[in-house]
A and B are shown apart, each in its own frame.
Chain A
């Protein structure tokens, strides 16, 4: 190696050897290519992995140490069994042990549906489907089917929250044309309440009311890509949504996601207060910049017009614990923001320091109460195994958005094996 470095130094000052050196390097590269084995792999309909995790955390307050472990199996099948027909099943089993909340087994039937595509541009689906909408990273106001979808939270990484969630049972149809599509779906009420038992499909978590949605997407140019949505259901006014992505330059994507419509505040819904329906907006807007070294940085501003402003939030924090807990539980179930404003920062450095090491950092800042969640991950990829170390730190005054989380800091070591 040292000889190669020296060779490089010499090459920079003497042009003739530089040509010779380049020729040698290229000859060496071609020899490597000669030795490269034929290794094209075939696609598979399955993706299965097992994951083991050890976790240690410190509680807020006295700082009691809690330890726990988890073993998970995650399966996804997406196959075609006849011309135009497709079956999708995605399931995850988390077996939690230890002193942490949520111990025991939790099975999450994420998806189970059939898809029929009689023509390239027409598709119908029936079953439990993760119908995800939205282009933002930290908060998705137009992801209307996120409510009730989280059954087992194994990481606060937004990528994990998106993946480990319940779809809703629905009938969905889509028609497509060059550069655009129209999607309509109907999701019926199937149960009254969620079911926390370990192996329940938990239809009550996702199908507690009749709902419908229309989504229209149309690409106007390779720089601007918008989508419009309208979503409604029993006992609620239609909500309008709009997603937009744009390319600022070679390295920067901007995005915006807005949802608005008449709706009661979250507090009125959670605490059964007097109805206060009004037109309320939710917004997430930000940009993602990629550096020449392939570090991707996202900055996002989030606004929830149905959340609590500073005065009401402070009043709730100082009021009865039961009301506070009811509000937090309701908002968490809907994957919404408890307060009006937040900032989200997410950075990913792929192949950081050395090949196959990815470093991820996330900060969620509640602008209203100044509390903060910080999350870091170092993940190393082997061919079939991922090793990850995650750390989380929650800062804030008692009762604040992140200061109220039961654990102040947390470490988690993960090993994932892909079959």
Chain B
């Protein structure tokens, strides 16, 4: 369906995207546990547990995150800091802080940008491409806006994104992430909606690799809590100091 007419009647694409961001991401500093389970050809090949502490930058609105590795045992208590493009990895056993480039992945299929909290409306310009009914992650049919997101901030993880957002309640349903050349990198389903920190939020993201659809990562979120994340935490020099509460 051509959307020129629809766009004027419907809420703006950017406000829909911002509303879906607000569903994925709590509005105040918070912590949660992320469990990543990776499958290859339907067999579990990896599992990681992380605790993520996030706080939005008062100026840019983008989230900064401190990530503590919980499991497996070999990685326990290692830390990753993401403050924009200031990315650091810290190993308490060696006290070594190593700067990472955004391309460096620590967690297999999941890009560092997948694990941390991201406000897409801050980094992407949205346009309503269509409105259609699709199957959501629970196999229910949902009427969705399909938004076409184009990166406006430099250094974002994905060049452009197609995102399906429930037209009735702004819940993110599904997304496809692409490279600049248009190659599909991954497909994500947002599902298992539960009341967390006052809002019904997706507590699971299912990521399907764009080249190898038999490569699947299930990211599950639990232990949501409001948690103060002081500004002094969000720098390299605090990494040796960080202690989970």
**Which A residues are closer than 8 A to B by beta carbons?**
1, 4, 22, 25-30, 32-33, 36, 38-44, 47, 49, 76, 78, 80, 86, 90, 117, 120-121, 123, 130-132, 135, 137, 159, 162-163, 174, 176-181, 183, 217, 219, 222-223, 225, 245, 247, 249-253, 255, 288-292, 294, 296, 350-351, 355-356, 381, 383-384, 386, 418-419
Contact = CB atoms under 8 A, between A and B. Distances in A.
B74 A176 contact: no
Interface stretch (B5-13, B103-111, B114-122, B144-152): B103-111
Nearest to B34: A40
13 contacts: A29-B208, A38-B220, A47-B77, A120-B230, A132-B95, A163-B91, A163-B93, A176-B235, A177-B232, A179-B231, A222-B83, A290-B103, A383-B72
A352 to B, nearest CB: 13
Contacts of A47: 73, 76-77, 93
Contacts of A217: 235-237
Given A76-B93, A181-B237, A381-B74, A26 B101 contact: no
Nearest to B219: A33
B101 A288 contact: yes
A29 B213 contact: yes
Contacts of B155: 250
Contacts of B39: 29, 32
B238 interface: yes
Contacts of A177: 231-232
Interface in B3-25: none
A38 B105 CA distance: 25
Q: Give chain B's interface residue range (CB within 8 Å of chain A).
A: 35 or more
Contacts of B137: 30, 33
Nearest to A288: B101
A80 B139 contact: no
A355 B241 contact: no
A123 B233 CA distance: 13
B222 interface: yes
Contact of B232 (A41, A159, A178, A249): A178
Nearest to B174: A26
Contact of B47 (A39, A159, A249): A39
A120 B77 contact: no
Contact of B102 (A36, A181, A250, A289): A250
Most buried by B among A177, A247, A383: A247
Contacts of B101: 247, 249-253, 288-290
Contacts of A29: 39, 189, 206, 208, 213, 216
Contacts of A294: 104-105
A80 B241 CA distance: 12
Given A32-B216, A33-B189, A222-B86, 17 more contacts: A26-B187, A41-B35, A41-B49, A43-B70, A44-B76, A49-B73, A76-B92, A90-B93, A131-B95, A163-B91, A178-B232, A180-B237, A181-B237, A223-B86, A251-B102, A290-B103, A356-B45
